[in-house]
Every structure is written in C-alpha cells, then in structure tokens.
Amino acid sequence: CGVFGVIGVADAANFVALGLHALQHRGQEAGGIVSHHPDAGFQSARRFGYVRDNFTSQDVMETLPGPLAIGHVRYSTSGNKGPTAIRDVQPFFGEFAMGGAAIAHNGNITNAEALRRELIERGSIFQSSSDSECIIHLMARSLQRNIPERMEDALRRVEGAFSVVAMTRTKLIGVRDPLGVRPLVLGKVGDGWALSSETCALDIIGAEFVREIEPGEMVVITSKGLESHFPFRRQASRFCIFEHVYFSRPDSILGGRSVYETRENIGRELAKESPVEADLVCPVPDSGTPAAIGFSLESGIPYAMGIIRNQYMGRTFIEPTEQIRNMGVRLKLNVNRALIEGKRVILVDDSVVRGTTSRKIKEMILDAGAKEVHFRIASPPTAWPCFYGVDTPQREKLLAATMSEDEMREHLAVDSLKFISLDGLYRAVGETKGRDKSCPQYCDACFSGEYPVTPADQISHGFEM
Ligand code: 5GP
Ligand code: SF4
Ligand code: MG
C-alpha cells in the first residue's frame, strides 16, 4: 500500500490526491482520502480503482476541504482477498473522547488475528476485515489523554510491519515500526509538511525531501512545528530489501540510495555472477528494466525492448485473483517479433514467484522465433511468503519452495535460468549480508526464510518457519 499526508497548505486533499497518484504502483485496488477543515470537520471519500479516476473531479475534491488531509492506496495483503469491500478501504476513522482521528497503514500486522479476537471479546465492534483496523480499537481502549499517546499505546501491542500516517483535527502524525520494514519519508511543502511512502510522491507536489522517518520513530506535526519521539524499544533496523528490487518506484530514494541505481547494480552483479553468450538483453517491463540495463552495460550485450508493455494495464501481481493474473500477461505484454526472430535472448525480470508470468513470456518469445531464451532474475529465488505487506502466495504456490533451480529451469523450459545470489543482492545495495554486524541488515525473509518478526497468526495456522 501507499500512504500520504499533508498539513499546513490550502486544500491539502488536492496535494494528497497528487501524492497518491504518484504512489499508485503501491496499490491499485482502491484509494481514500480524509480531510479536516475547522468548519466542515472531518470529511472522507473512499473509492475503488485508480486515484486519477476518483480524486480529480471538482465534485469530489470540493467535499474534502481544509489544510490537513491524509490518504491511502490499497492493495490487499490481508483481510478480504478478491474484490475489496469498500469497508476495507482506508483511511480508517475513529471518534474518541478527545476528538476524531484517521489512520492510513502500509504494512501488515502479524498478530492482527489474535488482537482482533481479544478486542472483539472485550466489546470492540469491527467494521472491516482489515488488519489495520486493530489500531483504531486499541487506541479506543487506551487510557492516555491525547491521540498521539494513544497511538503509541496501540502500536506497542502491534507486531509486524507498519508505516502509519494519521491525523487529528490539528496534527499530522507519522510512525514507522521499530524495524522500519516499510518506507516513510518527510517533506517540506511551502509552509507545510508532507509524509509519504516514497520520495517520488514528494516530487509531484513540489515538496522538498527533508529526511526519512526513522525506524521506531513517531513524528507529530502541528502548525507550531514537528516533534519526534521513539516510543518503542530500540532495535537494529530491517528494511524490506524487496522495496529496492521491485516494490518502490525507480525514481525514489530509499535509505539514501537511488532505487534505479540499485536495480542497475543488481543487473551488473547478475552479469558478473551468471554470464551467458547471447545477442540481446531484454527486460520484462517495467519491473525488470533497470536491471536489464545494468546487465547489458556490464556484459556489453546490446539492450533491446524485445517485449512491449501496454501502458494502460496495471501491475499484474496486484490483481488479487489467479485467473485475472493469468490473463493479465497477454493483456499487458507483447513480443516485439521483428527484434526477437532468430536471436539468442537474455530476459531479465525482477522475480519469479509462481512462475506463471515467466512461463507465458517464454512461450511468447519462442513463438516469435527466438533461438535461445535465458532468464536472469534480479532477486534470489522467492521460497518463502512475505507476512509484512507484500502479497506473496502461500508457500506451496511458490515455485522456489518446491523446486531446485534446475527443476525450475526445466519447468520453465528455458535454456538457462539464474537468480542473483543473496550476497550479490546485498552487494548491489552496498551492504554485506550477515557476517559484519556494523552493516545494516535488511529483511530478506522471502528469500532466506529468516523472519525478523515471528508471524504469530501464521504460526497459529500451522505455518512452519
Ligand atoms: P511469475 O513468473 O512468478 O508468475 O511472476 C513474476 C513476475 O510477476 C515478476 O515480473 C513480478 O514483477 C510479478 N509478480 C507476480 N506475482 C507476484 C507476487 O505475488 N509478488 C510479487 N512481488 N511479484 C509478483
Ligand atoms: Fe520485503 Fe520479502 Fe521481507 Fe516481505 S519478506 S518485507 S517482501 S524482504
Ligand atoms: Mg514484473
């Protein structure tokens, strides 16, 4: 998901709509905005579909007045899968004795089921099936006298990944979980402030990037300025390494690194680790593009757009049902036949998850007359599900959970298949895996199976780490 918030500008909701539009790659199922105006109070709009189709018309934006607003773009990783119910669309809102608060959450709460059960037993009335709603109910049960402190109380009970943007009548609040699994950045826009999942959304509103919200940090911003606290026990951070590989936009800066440059580095590492003779390097667009450029630069094999993407289709994996995902490949990608015919082609993609996309693409490339097909993958084999906010399927459906690299090559029926090593991936982000404790470590659980937060709900359903 993507979260965005602005305080201290006229018509903040317009800024939020623009920010969410720039974060659309993080969630395409639905979006919502809550605003506050001293006269109109809290207002909200929550819709299915793209930001550009819902939050551009005057009719809608006029209903969201005021100098303070937050928003969310949703892609479901918990709660109801398939067609999202409108009740699952964020931001969520709660009325407390001291006033209202709205929250937007990116990440996934790993003890949400246990919390929900406990809260329902004690009388909470849940409105949605989303894990994020727990935060509101935990806040309602807190005895603290102001909303930021109630949020601290609530979030201390929550396990897993959370980057939260919240608002009261007068405050914009941003929090990251102690491991900082999901990104959250701070920007300055005119006399006001912005919070965003990624820096690319600051650019769109002309905000200046100030800094990242730190893992475990809570910032509370009012018209008087910004206060920062660290309400959780301090831990070494574990940022999601897959944000660098796939999830974030290439024009964003994460941890001081250009996502684009990291992806190009990954391609260079891949070319060093797994060279192969061929005529062309082609990306599987768009997610494989920077790595393919890196592979081509390092190997000297010409880069070419052997697969053309229909720009009017979204990210396939974000469509939550398998059936749509299967169709999605042909709706989205087509082979550039004139270029491919008679060639030995290296295809570079970001990941192999179920293998369905990769198989279809290989068939399309062979149908177009390619002589050889070599897959190079910009992440290690995805052998474990993510429980921290990326929608990977159950372990059994992950190709790499049941097959060796050789078996996967056979299954995909390609001439060669190589994944970047985990060490190579760490090199590409400028760090070293494991051995050196002074080096920042990432979450890499979907590749290594080392889960930095015990996925309690999953374990209660029989998941074995
Ligand atoms: P596959 O070949 O595993 O079906 O799909 C891999 C391709 O789809 C990659 O290009 C990747 O961008 C995208 N993809 C498909 N499903 C998922 C998923 O569940 N999670 C992620 N992270 N990417 C996926
Ligand atoms: Fe990111 Fe993978 Fe960790 Fe999920 S399991 S947070 S996708 S690195
Ligand atoms: Mg892709």
The ranges assigned to domains in the chain are 2-235, 258-430
CATH class, 258-430 region: alpha beta
Ligand nearest to the CA of 377: 1
2-235 and 258-430: identical CATH topology: no
Nearest bound ligand to the CA of residue 107: 2
* Region class of 41: left (phi > 0), else alpha (psi between -120 and 50), else beta: left
CB 309 within 8 A of CB 285: yes
Ligand 2, residue 182: give the atom nearest the CA.
6
d(CA 29, CA 131): 17
Q: What was the ipTM of the complex prediction?
A: 0.91
Can you give the pLDDT at residue 439?
66
pLDDT of 432: 82
410 Cβ neighbours under 8 A, 6+ residues apart: none
pLDDT-flagged residues of the chain (< 70): 77-84, 314-328, 435-439
The binding-site residues of ligand 1, defined as CB within 6 angstroms of any ligand atom, are 246, 284, 287, 316-317, 349-358, 390-392
Q: Determine the Cα–Cα distance for residues 10 and 24; give it in Å rounded to an integer.
A: 23
Please identify which residue in the block is written with the tokens 């940022």. 239
Buried b vs exposed e over 372-381: b needs ≥16 C-beta within 10 Å?
Answer: bbbbbbbbbb
| Residue bearing tokens 């709509």 | 17
Q: Residue 391 CA: which ligand is closest?
A: 1
Question: Which of 317, 324, 331, 444 is the best mutation target for the ligand 1 pocket, counting ligand atoms within 8 Å of the beta carbon and taking the most?
Answer: 317
Q: What is the pLDDT of residues 304-347, one digit of tens each?
A: 999 998 887 766 545 556 666 666 677 788 899 999 999 999 99
Fold of 2-235: Glutamine Phosphoribosylpyrophosphate, subunit 1, domain 1 (3.60.20)
Place of tokens 């914009």: 172
Nearest-10 Cα torsion for 247, 250, 255, 261: 130
242, 398, 463: which to mutate for ligand 2, most atoms within 8 A of CB? 242
Q: What's the chain's Rg over C-alpha atoms?
A: 22
d(CA 106, CA 240): 13
- Reported as type and span, the H/E element at residue 70 is strand 68-74
| Ligand 2, atom nearest to 447 Cα | 2
Task: Please say if 1 is a catalytic residue.
Answer: yes
Q: Which residue has the tokens 């005021």?
A: 66
Q: Are 233 and 178 in contact (CB under 8 A)?
A: yes
Omega before residue 385 within 30° of 0, cis: no
Report d(CA 453, CA 1) in Å as an integer: 19
Set 1, 282, 386, 443: catalytic member: 1
Q: How far is the CA of 287 from the centre of ligand 3 (A)?
A: 5
The pick from 246, 332, 351, 446 for probing ligand 1's pocket by mutation, whose C-beta has the most ligand atoms within 8 angstroms, reads 351
DSSP 246-283: IIS-TT-EETTEEHHHHHHHHHHHHHHHS----SEEEE
Angstrom distances, CA of residue 223 to CA of 9, 169, 171, 229, 327: 10, 11, 8, 18, 49
Which residues have any ligand 2 atom within 6 Å of their CB?
181, 240-242, 386, 388, 390, 443-446
- Rounded to the nearest 5°, which phi and psi values hold at 374? -120, 120
CA of 280 from ligand 3 middle (Å) equals: 19
Distance 318 CA to ligand 1 centre (A): 9
Give residue 133's Cα distance to chain centre. 19
> What is the 8-class DSSP label of residue 454?
-
The pLDDT assigned to 332 comes to: 82
Q: Which two tokens stand for residue 129?
A: 């099936």
Distance 242 CA to ligand 2 centre (A): 6
Q: Which amino acid is at 212?
A: E
Distance 382 CA to ligand 1 centre (A): 10
